[in-house]
């Protein structure tokens, strides 16, 4: 900082020259104090003005020694008044600067409480998985257990054990992906029926959800990979009424109170067989296949069909999900399009 208001003390001094020097000091010092822009500048200014050694006021006062005795108290008083005034001005300016800095900081850190909150998207279940879980949960409520089976299957479990022999035209109902080594990708969840009954003696009540594969070209209603839930109950005395009651109970819970109809159909592993439709927006939509477990299947497992009977059902989960939510294209379920997924 330059001492632009350095005051030269003239020699010899008298009351008038000292008084005018004090006045000049006051004027210039006040000006510089008011112009100081930081606490640091103010502190340097204080030292250069009021510092005991070499401060400008001390230097004026130092010259007081040359005044006649009777003038000294008056001069001392004036110098003290000036000192006090400057001290006050310094602390006022300091206060001002602090207030200004605080104001600036507050403005910078201000929180606009009326600003819209940041959008934090919440994750949620994929509609397909939610449908799968819901279907399984409904059957669990009816006393069913969840079981699992491999996606890579043998011809035996996927076809033969389900009463679909090698040369049977029913094999062509399901176009199969064959793997090298003779295995295949399961075309339905029905092989889990066989695997479960091989290792569990009846009575059984199980559901088997999972992925299945077919050589279908992709379009609005077909995908080479999709999901099914298999339902199987085997016990003494089970008849078609049990199947019908179970299916209707499930459909009412999952779809609500839509009209339901059973249509006679054919599956090699059930006899009799039916397909089940629900009426939605004036149209009948097929949602599952079902039937009484064919005695040939039970026999193949070493179970006496005179004693044991069973019913089974299989449904496509994509299909159920699409009917349930009014989705028009199966590809949407595999597209990961958030605009679509956010709706569920």
Residues forming contacts to ligand DAH in the complex (CB under 6 A) are 188, 190, 230, 267, 270, 289-291, 312-314
Closer to ligand DAH by Cβ: residue 147 or 290: 290
Helix (H, G, I), strand (E, B) or coil at 299: helix
| Cα–Cα distance for residue pair 231/192, rounded to 1 Å | 10
**Burial (CB count within 10 angstroms: exposed 0-12, middle 13-18, buried 19+), residue 9:** middle
DSSP per residue, 126-137: -HHHHHHHHHHH
Whether residue 324 contacts residue 333, with contact meaning beta carbons closer than 8 Å, is answered with no
Closer to ligand DAH by Cβ: residue 48 or 311: 311
Closest separation in Å from C-beta 286 to ligand DAH: 10
Residue nearest to ligand DAH (CB): 314
Closest separation in Å from C-beta 123 to ligand DAH: 32
Closer to ligand DAH by Cβ: residue 313 or 320: 313
Nearest-CA neighbor of 220 among 294, 121, 319? 319
Closest separation in Å from C-beta 337 to ligand DAH: 28
Closest separation in Å from C-beta 125 to ligand DAH: 25
Nearest-CA neighbor of 271 among 296, 254, 247, 306? 296
Closest separation in Å from C-beta 273 to ligand DAH: 6
Helix (H, G, I), strand (E, B) or coil at 270: strand
Whether residue 140 contacts residue 185, with contact meaning beta carbons closer than 8 Å, is answered with no
Closest separation in Å from C-beta 245 to ligand DAH: 16
- What DSSP state is assigned to residue 65? G
| Cα–Cα distance for residue pair 97/91, rounded to 1 Å | 10
Nearest-CA neighbor of 132 among 79, 75, 210, 64? 210
Closest separation in Å from C-beta 187 to ligand DAH: 7
Q: What are phi and psi of 5, to 5 degrees?
A: -105, 25
Closer to ligand DAH by Cβ: residue 58 or 265: 265
* Count, residues in the chain: 344
Q: What are phi and psi of 298, to 5 degrees?
A: -60, -45
Closest separation in Å from C-beta 267 to ligand DAH: 4
Whether residue 207 contacts residue 230, with contact meaning beta carbons closer than 8 Å, is answered with yes
């Amino acid at each position: 900082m330059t001492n632009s208001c350095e005051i030269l003390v003239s020699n010899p001094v008298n009351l008038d020259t000292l008084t005018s020097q004090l006045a000049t000091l006051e004027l210039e010092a006040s000006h510089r104090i008011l112009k100081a822009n930081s606490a640091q500048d103010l502190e340097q200014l204080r030292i250069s003005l009021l510092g005991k050694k070499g401060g400008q006021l001390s230097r004026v006062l130092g010259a007081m020694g040359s005044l006649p005795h009777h003038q000294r108290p008056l001069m001392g008083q004036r110098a003290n008044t000036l000192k006090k005034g400057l001290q006050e001005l310094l602390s006022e300016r300091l206060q001002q600067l602090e207030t200004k800095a605080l104001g600036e900081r507050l403005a910078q850190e201000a929180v606009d409480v009326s600003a819209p909150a940041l959008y934090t998207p919440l994750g949620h279940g994929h509609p397909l998985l939610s449908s799968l879980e819901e279907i399984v949960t409904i059957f669990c409520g009816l006393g069913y257990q969840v079981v699992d089976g491999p996606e890579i299957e043998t011809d035996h479990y996927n076809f033969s054990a389900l009463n679909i022999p090698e040369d049977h035209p029913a094999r062509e109902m399901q176009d199969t992906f064959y793997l090298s080594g003779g295995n295949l990708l399961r075309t339905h969840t029905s092989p889990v029926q066989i695997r479960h009954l091989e290792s569990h003696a009846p009575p059984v009540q199980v559901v088997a959800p999972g992925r299945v594969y077919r050589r279908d070209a992709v379009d609005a209603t077909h995908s080479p990979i999709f999901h099914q839930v298999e339902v199987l109950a085997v016990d003494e005395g089970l008849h078609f009424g049990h199947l019908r009651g179970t299916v209707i109970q499930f459909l009412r819970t999952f779809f609500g109170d839509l009209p339901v109809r059973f249509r006679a159909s054919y599956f090699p592993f059930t006899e009799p067989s039916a397909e089940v439709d629900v009426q939605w927006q004036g149209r009948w939509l097929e949602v599952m296949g079902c039937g009484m477990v064919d005695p040939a299947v039970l026999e193949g497992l070493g179970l006496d069909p005179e004693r044991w009977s069973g019913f089974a059902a299989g449904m496509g989960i994509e299909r159920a999900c699409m009917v349930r939510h009014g989705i028009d294209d199966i590809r949407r379920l595999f597209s990961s399009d958030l605009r679509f997924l956010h709706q569920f």
